[in-house]
Amino acid sequence: MLASITPLGERGRHGRWGITVTAFILGATIAGAALGAVAGELGAVALPGSFDLAARRAALAVLALGAVALDARADRVPGPRRQVNEDWLLAFRGWVYGLGYGAQLGVGITTVVSSAALYVAVIAAVATGKPALGALVLGCFGGVRGLILLTTAGVRRPEQLIALHARLRRWRAPVRTAGLATLGAITAAAIVGGLS
């Protein structure tokens, strides 16, 4: 999907890359925030009053540690296997499929889950126990996922698309390592925060 929403691809579909990408980022951010608000409200209702901040941090630390273990395995992370519907590229205007794809990827749990960090983010939103904070957590998560399309800005010719694919393959292992390090840092921060 990333390789489909490029200036080259949009030009081929008589669309405007900037409009599609803006809709994608907005969709990802808004959908993430909406899920976060629901998760925060769920935390407010479901978490007992005795489940204080230290207990929430400790639970988040355990879950983050589990996410590190899941991501470190060679197998895929458990979750849905569906992708976004590529037929939308030809059926709708750029802003429509940009918004729709962005919303699906911003929520994260409706498409292929590539990292257990998604589950940590959702649990963190629940652990806030507040809809506004949950919206902030997952809105930021969705927004960052939406920004990935900015990496395609320079793809205006077929050879640049081929080069983008090569870069994505080269970056797969370093990005995975960085993701594991980030989850490790979240785990450590949650442990330290839970102890203080």
Q: What pLDDT does 194 receive?
A: 59
On whether the pTM is more than 0.85, the answer is yes
On whether residue 20 sits in a domain, the answer given is yes
| 179 CB-near residues (< 8 Å, 6+ apart) | 71, 115, 117
Count of domains forming the chain: 1
On whether residue 116 sits in a domain, the answer given is yes
On whether residue 27 sits in a domain, the answer given is yes
Low-confidence winner among 17-21, 52-56, 136-140 (lowest mean pLDDT): 52-56
On whether residue 39 sits in a domain, the answer given is yes
On whether residue 120 sits in a domain, the answer given is yes
pLDDT band at 131 (very low <50, low <70, confident <90, very high): very high
Answer yes or no: are the C-beta atoms of 64 and 183 closer than 8 Å: yes
Other CB atoms within a 10 A radius of the CB of residue 19 amount to 14
On whether residue 14 sits in a domain, the answer given is yes
Answer yes or no: are the C-beta atoms of 148 and 2 closer than 8 Å: yes
Structure tokens at 67: 């996410």
Note the pLDDT tens digit of each residue in 103-130. Answer: 999 998 888 888 888 999 999 999 999 9
pLDDT band at 26 (very low <50, low <70, confident <90, very high): very high
Note the pLDDT tens digit of each residue in 152-196. Answer: 999 999 999 999 999 989 998 898 889 889 888 888 877 776 555
On whether residue 111 sits in a domain, the answer given is yes
> What is the extent of the structural domain holding 38?
7-195
On whether residue 1 sits in a domain, the answer given is no
Residue 48 has pLDDT above 90, yes or no: no
Answer yes or no: are the C-beta atoms of 14 and 109 closer than 8 Å: no
Q: What pLDDT does 1 receive?
A: 67
Q: What pLDDT does 43 receive?
A: 93
Q: How far apart are CA 139 and CA 34, in angstroms?
A: 8
